[in-house]
């Protein structure tokens, strides 16, 4: 979407074949950058390459959208998987900002207007659903991190904007279309409820928003005269976003617990 709008994009990739696909699709309008957000060394090396390419100019925008989703009941999920979740989704953003923040204008020796940062949160950044606790924790953390960062970087005129999508119809749902994560916990008390959540996600995910809609919102955040600080891009917005935030949290919890069968046996609602 940014290339369509006339931008040159420095695109982070983890595999050589992905870099080749980008070059084939977009030619000279894209510069693939090999980077791993769990490594400060890797991110700083990528930042150095962008600095050299900019030739003393500031970077116009930074989009932090790398992430994974670790699932499972918090009572049983291995701690190292939770650590992986936070390392990528939270610390990865900090590493990215530290590597590219100077290019956005924190380095006052560069010529040009300050750039902007867009962080990719989620509906999970405001809500906590069962069996996505590590992911929800990472996105709650990202919301707070972004708010703090916004105030700090005001010193340089660098603004920070949050996009919180719901389901987006990307190939990620093809990768998720197996039951291995559910099967891992089939001997726990959460198996039946996890199966219900998995089926719901696999039904809703492929019917989510078009990726281009998120791309347009990113472009808006980077270019609008006075963009909002946060945008919720959520399909079926009334039921998936507005009502859950307006209703009392206890009521929302009761409904989720009831639908998933998470009440203790033999007890009332």
Active site residues: 135
Q: Give dist(CA 92, CA 98) in Å, integer.
A: 10
Q: Give dist(CA 193, CA 190) in Å, integer.
A: 5
Q: Please name the residue that has the structure tokens 């039904």.
A: 203
Q: Give dist(CA 196, CA 261) in Å, integer.
A: 9
Q: Give dist(CA 95, CA 46) in Å, integer.
A: 11
Residues 6+ apart with CB under 8 A from 26: 3, 9
CB 121 within 8 A of CB 136: no
Q: Give dist(CA 189, CA 129) in Å, integer.
A: 17
3-state secondary structure of 153: helix
3-state secondary structure of 193: helix
**Tokens coding 35:** 């980077």
- Smallest Cα–Cα separation from 32: which of 56, 14, 58, 44? 14
**Tokens coding 237:** 């917005």
Residue 75: other Cβ atoms inside 10 A: 10
**DSSP E strands: which ranges in the chain?**
9-13, 30-34, 61-64, 116-120, 159-165, 230-233
């Amino acid at each position: 979407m940014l290339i369509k709008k006339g931008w040159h994009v420095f695109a982070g990739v983890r595999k050589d074949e992905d870099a080749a696909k980008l070059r084939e699709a977009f030619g000279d309008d894209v510069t693939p950058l090999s980077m791993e957000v769990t490594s400060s060394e890797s991110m700083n090396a990528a930042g150095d390459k962008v600095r050299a390419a900019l030739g003393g100019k500031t970077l116009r925008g930074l989009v932090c959208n790398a992430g994974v989703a670790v699932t499972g009941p918090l009572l049983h999920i291995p701690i190292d998987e939770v650590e992986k979740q936070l390392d990528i989704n939270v610390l990865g953003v900090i590493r990215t900002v530290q590597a590219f923040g100077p290019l956005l204008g924190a380095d006052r020796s560069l010529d040009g207007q300050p750039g902007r940062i867009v962080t990719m949160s989620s509906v999970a950044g405001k809500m906590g659903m069962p069996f996505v606790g590590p992911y929800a924790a990472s996105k709650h953390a990202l919301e707070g991190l972004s708010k703090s960062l916004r105030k700090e970087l005001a010193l340089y005129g660098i603004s920070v904007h949050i996009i919180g999508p719901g389901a987006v119809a990307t190939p990620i749902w093809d990768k998720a279309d197996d039951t291995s994560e559910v099967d891992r916990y089939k001997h726990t008390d959460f198996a039946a409820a996890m199966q219900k959540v998995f089926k719901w996600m696999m039904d809703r995910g492929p019917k989510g928003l078009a990726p281009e809609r998120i791309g347009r919102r990113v472009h808006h955040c980077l270019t609008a005269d006075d963009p909002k600080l946060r945008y919720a891009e959520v399909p079926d917005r009334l039921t998936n976003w507005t009502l859950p935030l307006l209703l009392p949290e206890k009521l929302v919890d009761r409904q989720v617990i009831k639908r998933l069968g998470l009440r203790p046996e033999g007890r009332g609602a």
